[in-house]
Chain A
Amino acid sequence: MAQVRPKAKTFQELILTLQNYWAAQGCLILQPYDDQMGAGTFHPATTLRALGPRPWKAAFVQPSRRPSDGRYGENPNRLQHYYQYQVILKPAPENVQDLYLGSIKALGLDPALHDIRFVEDDWESPTLGAAGLGWEVWCDGMEITQFTYFQQVGGIECDPVAAEITYGLERLAMYVQNVEFVYDLAFNEQFRYGEVFHQNEVEFSAYNFERADTEILFQHFKDAEKQCAELLTGRKLPLPAYDQCIKASHAFNLLDARGVISVTERAAYIGRVRALAQACCEAWLETPMGKYTPRFG
C-alpha cells in the first residue's frame, strides 16, 4: 500500500496550480462556459478557436456532464458531473510534451519517481465532427491526461494544428491524494468533495435516469436545432448558433441516458448534432475572428 503523501495538494490547489502554471506559459485563463456540455472540447474556446489561422492559447476548468455516467453517488469514481482542466495551444508548440511534463511536476508528481508514458489513444468526437491523434498519458499505469493534436473540427481540417491537453481533475486528485473513493477527496483543508457534490450526484442521477421529461427534451432538441439553423441564415451569428448546438447535444445526452433513443436513432441524432456543429464552424470561419482579419490587433 502506498503511503498518504505528505502535503498532497487539495482539489482546489490542483486547479490553482494548473491555472498558475499555464498562465505562466502565456495562456489566457478563461472561465468555464455557461452552458451544459459533455466535455471541455465543446467550449467555443476550443471548438471554434481550434479553427482558422489565428494563434490561440487558453486554459480553463470546464464542468462536464455525462448524464449516463450517473451512479447515484455510489460508484467510487464515476460521476455524471465532473471537472476537466483543458489547455488549448495553437499552433502546437514544438516542446508541448515538455510543457505538459512541467505541469505534472508542478502538481507534485516527480517524473523521476514515477513511470510516465505516452500511450496511443486517438480521439474522436462524432458529434463535433472532430478528430485528432495523440495519447493518454499514464502515470504508474493510471491514465491522468488526454493529449491530442487536432486534425479536424466540424469536418474542417485544422491548420495550424492545435494541441489539446485535458486533465480529468477528480481522477488526478484521487491519484495525488491517494484516495480510493472520489467523495473522500479533500476539496480544500476543510471540505471533502462529497460534501460539495454527493447530493448533486444522487439527485441528478435520478433526474437523468428517471425524471427528466423526455417530451420536453425532444422539444428542446428540436427547438435548439431549429434556432441554430435559423441563426445561420441571413446575417450569420455563429456564436449564438453554436450555443444552440451545445444545448441540442446535451438534450441528446439526456435522452440517451433516459434510454428512449434506439441504436439506429442514435446514429441519426449524432448526425444531426454534427450537422449543426459543422454549420457553426463553417460560419465561424467567415467571421473576423475566425478568418483572422486583424481588427483587434
Chain B
Amino acid sequence: MPDLLLELFSEEIPARMQAGAARDLERLMVGALTDRGYLFEGIKAFAGPRRLTLVIAGLPAQQKDVREELKGPKVDAPAAAIEGFLKKTGLTRDQLKTEATSKGDVYIAVIERKGRETPHVLAEIIPEVMAKLPWPKSMRWKPGMAVRWVRPLHSILCTFDGELVPFSFAGISSGLHTMGHRFLSQGRIEAKRFEDYEHKLRAAHVILDAEERAAIIFEGVKQAAFVRGLEMIPDEGLLAEVAGLAEWPVVYVGAIEDQFMDVPAEILQTSMRTHQKYFSLRDPKTGKMANRFALVANMIVEDGGKEIVAGNERVLRARLSDAKFFWDEDRKHSLESRVEKLKGIVFHAKLGTQFERVERIEKLAGEIAEKIGADVEKAKRAAYLCKADLTTGVVGEFPELQGVMGRYYALHDKEDAAVADAIRDHYKPMGPSDAVPTDKVAIAVALADKVYQIAGFFFVGEKPSGSGDPFAVRRAALGAIRIINENKLRLSLRSLCETATKMVRGHVLLDCIMDGPLGAYTLIETKADDSSFRSISLPSGDLGVLGTAEIVRLNDEYPLSEALWLLDAERERPDFGDYWIEKTKRQKNYGPDAPAFLFDRGLLPFFSDRLKVALKEKGTRHDLIDAVFSLGNEDDLVRLVARVEALQAFLKTDDGANLLAGYKRAANILKAEEKKDGKTFLGKVDERLLPETADKDLHAALGRAIGAIGPALEKEDFAAAMQQMAALRVPVDGFFDAVKVNADDPALRENRLHLLAGLRAALHRVADFSKIEG
C-alpha cells in the first residue's frame, strides 16, 4: 500500500521543542486519519533543527465507504419534526426507510458516503493539523496573516504514493522539494518517497532521526574521550539538546586552561553546560574532572576544526574567568555574614523575605532534629545558613548550584562538615530519581524546608491546582514523603505542619495589620530597621472598632518583639479571627483555629493524594491508602504505610478476599436496615438471643478478635492484627450461610444486626473497609 511523506521546513526550531512537536504532529495526524476511518501500517515523525518530517506507511489510496443508519422520528410525528430530520440528513421523504419498533414505525435514513481519494483527504487534513499543532511558543511572520509557526516556515514537501499532494498553508504551496544542510549542501533537493528523501538528505549532510544524531554524538564523545584516556560524564538532557542543535553533528575536543582547574568541578561543568552546551570529561580512575571538554558542532571544516576549537576555547576562557571571579569574590564574605542580606530578598509577597523563611525553617529543623535524634544545634545552624548562598555571585549566575555552593562556602568558613553537607543536601530529593538525604542533620533541614514550603503556600492560598503548581508544592510533598518513608522517620505530620502554619499565620496577621487602616506603615518601617516599636492600643477592648485603633509611636518604649507579643495576645482573643474574616475576604482561614483546620481540610487530603502517587510505583493500592487515611488521626506516615502494606497482603489471601466480601454484605444489610428503621444498631449483643450455632460462633469469634486486634495495633504489629481478622472469615461465612439476618422475630433481627455492626466496628479498627474496592 502507498506511503505518505510530509516535511515542514522552517527556520531553526528551538531544540527543546523538537521532540514535542514531532509527537504532536504524529498524534494529530493519527487522530485526523482515524476520524476519517483510516487504518494504516505504521507512522513515524522526525524532528531536527530545521524540519519536522512525518512518514505514514501503508495508507489506503481510497477512504473507506461509509454506510450509516440514522434513526428518525415516528412516522406519525408532527410534520415539523420530520422536516427537521430531512434537513439534517439532506434526504427527501421517499428516500427514507421505515422500520417497526416497539414504539411504532419510525423513519430511518440510510446515508452512504463514498470514500474519497486519499490525496484529497490529506490535502484537507494536513493544513488543519498544522494549524492545530501546539507549539509552546509560536509567532506570526506573514504580513496580514494570523497564521503562526514556531519560526518562519519556508516550504512544505508532501507526497502520497510518490505523487504531489497539493495544498497550501500560510500561503506556501506544497511541493516536492526541500533543502539540505545550511552550509554543507547546495541547491534544492527533490524527493518523492521516504527512502529517497532520507537518502538524499544524508547525502546533503542532514541526519533526519534525532535518535541517530544523539547516538552519533554519544559515540563521538565517548570515543574522543577514550583516546585521551578519559570518559564522558553522562548527561542525557544535554545530549538531547545538542542533538537538536545540529543536522550533521561533529564532535571536537578542546582544552580547559589550568588556571581554572582549582575552581569546583560543579561550577566548571555547569558553566560549560548551560552557557556553551559542552560535555565535561573525567578521569575514569580518579573520577576527577579532566581539563578537556567535548563540543558538538554542526560543521565539517577543512582545517579539521582548528578554528572552531580555538574559538570555543576562547569563549570558554571568558566564561570561566567570570565564574572564577565570582568564586574568588564569594569567598571573601562568610556565609553567616550573608544571612542578613536575605532580608532584602522577597521569597513570596505573602510569606515575606528569604530571611523570614530561614527563621521558620530553622525553628522547624530544630523541632524535627529533636524528634529524630539529630544534633539540634547543628540542624539549626545548617538551617540558618541554608539559603545564604542565594546572595553569592556563583549562585546568581547559576541558580542550579544553590546548595552545592553553600556547602563549599561553609567548608571554607570552617563550618562543621555535617552542617556543610546539610546545606548542600537540604534541597534533596530534586526529582523522582534523586536520592533522599540520609544524614540526620540533613534530613532535619531538608524536611523542614519542604514542610514550610507546603504549609506556607497552602496557608496563603497558593496551593497547587489542576492547571498548575507554580511554587512546586507537589514536588515538595513528594520529597517530604520520600524523606520520611525511606528513612522511616516517626513524626507527626500534624504537629510539623501546625508549627509551620502558626508561624506563617503570625506573619500574615502582621501583614493584615499593616494593610489595615492602622497607621500600619510605621510597623513596616520599624520592622525593617528593627529599632523600636510602639504599642497597639485597642480602645475599650472592643474588637469591632479595631479598625480605628491607633498605632502610636512611643519612642524606644517597646521593642519590636514586645509589640509582636502584644499582637499575639490580641490574637488569642476568641473573636479575633472572626473580626478579620469580616475585615477582609482573603482572611477566611486566618483565625486561631486556622492551622488545625488547614491541616484537616487541606494538608492531610493533599498528603494522602501525594502518598498515593508516591506509592503507586510500588503497586500499593490507592483505595487502601484511602481506607487507612479515613480512619482519621493517622498522621504518622511510616505507621500508615506499614498498615496499608499489611492490609494489602491480607486482602491477597483467600481469607482476606472472603472476609472483605462478608464485610460488604454485612455493610449493605446494615445500610439498608438502618435506613428502613431510621436508627443505627450499635447496641450490645444479647447473648441469650443467639439461637443458632452460627450466631454463637460469630459472637465468640468477634469477642476474641476485638480483644486481640487492639493490643496488636497498639504494638504496631499489623500482621498480627490481620491474622486476628483472618480468624473471622470462617464464622462470618458460616453466619451468612446458616442464618437469615432479617428474622421474623424483631428482637432476633435486631440482635443479629447488632452482631453485624460489631463485625463492621471490629474491621474498622484496622481500616475503613467501605473505601476498599472490589
* Chain A residues within CB distance 8 Å of chain B: 1-2, 76-77, 91-92, 94, 97, 111-120, 122, 132-133, 135, 139-142, 149, 151, 157, 159-161, 175, 178, 180, 262-264
> Which of B38-46, B217-225, B294-302, B550-558 lies at the binding interface?
B294-302
| Complex Cα gap A151–B140 (Å) | 7
What are 19 A-B contacts defined by CB distance under 8 Å?
A: A2-B311, A97-B11, A112-B301, A112-B302, A113-B301, A113-B302, A113-B303, A114-B299, A117-B298, A119-B15, A119-B245, A142-B314, A160-B143, A160-B144, A161-B140, A161-B141, A175-B311, A175-B314, A180-B317
| Shortest Cβ distance from B252 into A: residue | A115
Q: Which of B12, B295, B310 contacts A2 (CB 8 A)?
A: B310
Flag if B245 contacts A117 (CB, 8 Å).
Answer: yes
Instruction: Kindly list chain B residues whose C-beta atoms are within 8 Å of the C-beta of A160.
Output: 143-144
Q: Which residue of B lies closest to A55 (CB)?
A: B143
- List of A residues within 8 angstroms of B183 by Cβ: 111-112, 116
The verdict on B417 contacting chain A, using a C-beta distance below 8 Å, is no
Q: Give the residue name and chain of the A residue nearest to B316 (CB).
A: A141
Write out the residue numbers on chain A whose beta carbons fall within 8 Å of the beta carbon of B144: 159-160
In the assembled complex, how far is the CB of residue B331 from the closest CB belonging to chain A, in whole angstroms? 19
Q: Does B686 sit within 8 A of A, measured CB to CB?
A: no
A141-B276 in contact given A120-B14, A159-B143, A180-B317 (Cβ < 8 Å): yes
Cross-chain contact of A76 among B143, B150, B302, B321 (Cβ < 8 A): B321
Looking at the assembled complex, report how far the CB atom of A8 sits from the nearest CB atom of chain B, in whole angstroms.
13
Tell whether B341 is near chain A: CB-to-CB under 8 Å. no
Task: Output the least CB separation between B144 and chain A (Å).
Answer: 7
Q: How far is the CA of A89 from the CA of B312 in the complex (A)?
A: 31
Which 7 residue pairs across A and B have the least CB separation, nearest first? A140-B311, A2-B310, A120-B14, A160-B143, A118-B12, A115-B297, A141-B312
Determine if A161 and B143 form an interchain contact, defined as CB atoms under 8 angstroms apart.
Answer: yes
In the assembly, what is the distance between CA of A263 and CA of B307, in Å? 44
Give the distance in Å from the alpha carbon of A149 to the alpha carbon of B295 in the complex.
29
**Interface centre among A2, A118, A122, by most B CB within 10 Å?**
A118
What 0/1 readout, one digit per residue, does chain B (125-141) give for beta carbons within 8 Å of chain A? 00000000000011111
Which residues 291-338 of B sit at the A interface, judged by CB distance below 8 A? 295, 297-299, 301-303, 306-308, 310-318, 321
Complex interface: chain B residues within 8 A of A175 (CB): 311, 314
Residues of B contacting A178 in the complex (Cβ-Cβ under 8 angstroms): 314
Q: Which residues of A contact B16 (CB under 8 A)?
A: 120
Q: In the assembled complex, how far is the CB of residue B623 from the closest CB belonging to chain A, in whole angstroms?
A: 45
Separation of A178 and B317 alpha carbons in the complex (Å): 13
Does B152 interact with chain A (Cβ within 8 Å)? yes
Contact check, B302 vs A92: say whether CB atoms are below 8 A apart.
no
Cβ B346 vs Cβ A113 within 8 A: no
Bitwise interface map of B from 733 to 747 toward A, beta carbon under 8 Å scored 1, else 0? 000000000000000
Residues on the B chain within 8 Å of A132, using CB:
139
Q: A80 CB to closest chain B CB, in angstroms?
A: 17
Q: How far is the CB of A176 from chain B (nearest CB, A)?
A: 11
How far in angstroms is the closest Cβ of chain A from B511?
A: 14
- Whether A133 contacts B314 by the Cβ 8 Å rule is no
Q: A175–B308 Cα gap in the complex (Å)? A: 12
- Establish whether residues B137 and A76, one from each chain, have CB atoms under 8 Å apart when the complex forms: no
> Which residues of chain A are near B77, meaning CB under 8 Å?
none
Whether B137 lies near A142 (C-beta < 8 A) is no
User: Are A118 and B139 interface neighbours, CB within 8 A?
Assistant: no
Complex Cα distance, B303 from A97, in Å, reads 26
Report yes or no: A115 in contact with B140, Cβ–Cβ below 8 A.
no
Contacts of A263 in B (CB 8 A): 344-346
Q: Which residue of A is nearest B299, CB measured?
A: A115
Most buried by A among B301, B308, B311, B344: B311
**Given contact pairs A115-B301, A133-B150, A142-B312, a sample of 9 additional A-B residue pairs in the complex whose CB atoms are under 8 Å apart:** A1-B310, A1-B313, A114-B307, A116-B299, A141-B295, A151-B139, A180-B314, A263-B344, A264-B346
The residues in B between 136 and 169 inclusive whose CB is less than 8 angstroms from any CB of A are 137-141, 143-144, 150-152, 154
B12 and A114 within 8 A (CB) = no
Residue in B141, B312, B321 whose Cβ sees the most chain A Cβ within 10 Å: B141
CA distance A235 to B314 in the complex (A): 55
The answer on a CB contact under 8 Å between B139 and A2 is: no
A-B contact count (CB 8 A): 103
Q: How far is the CB of B312 from chain A (nearest CB, A)?
A: 4
Task: Please measure, in the bound complex, the distance between the C-alpha atom of A175 and the C-alpha atom of B138, giving whole angstroms.
Answer: 32
Q: CB-CB < 8 A to B299: which residues of A?
A: 114-116
Within the complex, the shortest CB–CB distance from A254 to chain B, in Å, comes to 20
> Would you call A141 and B11 a contact (CB within 8 A)?
no
* A149/B316 contact (C-beta < 8 A), A119-B245, A120-B14 known: no
Alpha-carbon gap, A222 to B33, bound state (A): 62
Contacts of A91 in B (CB 8 A): 143
CB-CB under 8 A from B301, the residues of chain A are 112-115
Residue of B nearest to A53 (CB): B143
- A241–B28 Cα distance when bound, in Å, is 49
A91 CA / B301 CA spacing, docked (Å): 35
Closest chain B CB from A224 CB (angstroms): 28
Given A77-B318, A114-B311, A117-B245, also A149-B152 (CB < 8 A):
yes
Residues of chain A within 8 A of B315, CB atoms compared: 140-142
Q: By the criterion CB–CB under 8 Å, are B311 and A141 in contact?
A: yes
Whether B318 pairs with A76 at a CB distance below 8 angstroms is yes
Residues of chain B in range 243-282 having any CB-CB distance to chain A below 8 Å = 245-246, 276
Contacts A119-B245, A263-B344, A263-B346; A92 near B152 (Cβ below 8 A): yes
Least Cβ–Cβ distance between B722 and chain A, in angstroms: 57
Q: How far is the CB of B615 from chain A (nearest CB, A)?
A: 38
Chain B residues closer than 8 Å to A77, beta-carbon distance: 318
Cβ-defined contact, A120 with B15, below 8 A: yes
Q: How far is the CA of A15 from the CA of B741 in the complex (A)?
A: 99
Q: How far is the CB of A76 from chain B (nearest CB, A)?
A: 7
Question: Which residues of chain B are near A139, meaning CB under 8 Å?
Answer: 311
Contacts A120-B14, A142-B315: A133 and B321 contacting too (C-beta < 8 A)?
A: no
B306 cross-chain contacts in A, Cβ below 8 A: 2
Specify the chain A residue showing the minimal Cβ separation from B151.
Answer: A133
In the bound complex, what is the Cα–Cα distance between A133 and B344 (angstroms)?
Answer: 33
- Kindly provide the distance from the CB of A191 to the nearest chain B CB, expressed in whole angstroms: 24
Q: Which residue of the partner chain, among A1, A94, A114, contacts B152 with CB atoms under 8 Å?
A: A94
Residues B314 and A2 in contact, CB atoms below 8 Å apart = yes
Contacts of B140 in A (CB 8 A): 151, 157, 159, 161
**Shortest Cβ gap from A172 to chain B (Å):** 13
Report Cα–Cα, A139/B14, bound state, in Å.
Answer: 17
Q: What separation, in Å, do the CA atoms of A264 and B137 have in the docked complex?
A: 28
* In the complex, chain B residues whose CB is within 8 Å of the CB of A111: 183
Docked complex Cα distance between A118 and B49 (Å) = 9
- Cα(A76)–Cα(B317), bound, Å: 11
* Contact status B308-A114, CB under 8 Å: yes
A25 CA / B343 CA spacing, docked (Å) = 54
Q: Bound complex: CA of A94 vs CA of B172, how far in Å?
A: 12
Query: Given the complex, which residues of B lie within 8 Å of A142, measured CB to CB?
Result: 311-312, 314-315
- The contact of A140 among B12, B139, B308, by CB within 8 Å, is B308
Cα distance A111–B311 when bound, in Å?
13
Least Cβ–Cβ distance between A135 and chain B, in angstroms: 6
CB of B345, distance to nearest CB on chain A (Å): 7
Question: Which B residue's beta carbon lies closest to that of A77?
Answer: B318
Residue of B14, B303, B314 with most chain A CB atoms under a 10 A cut-off? B314
Task: Flag if B152 contacts A113 (CB, 8 Å).
Answer: no
- Chain B residues within an 8 Å CB radius of A117: 12, 245-246, 298
**How many Å from the CB of B20 to the closest CB on chain A?**
13
Q: Output the residue of A91, A92, A115 with the most chain B CB within 10 A.
A: A115
For B12, B245, B303, the residue with the greatest tally of chain A CB atoms inside 10 Å of its CB is: B12
Q: Tell me the nearest residue of chain A to B255, going by C-beta.
A: A1
Instruction: Give A97 to B9 CA distance when docked, in angstroms.
Output: 14
Whole-angstrom CA separation of A176 from B345 in the bound complex: 41
Q: Is B308 touching A115 in the complex (CB atoms < 8 A)?
A: yes
Per the bound structure, the CA–CA distance linking A76 and B314 in Å amounts to: 13
Q: Nearest Cβ in chain B — how far from A170, in angstroms?
A: 12
Which of chain B's residues have a CB closer than 8 A to the CB of A114? 299, 301, 307-308, 311
Bound-state Cα–Cα, A286 to B61, Å:
56
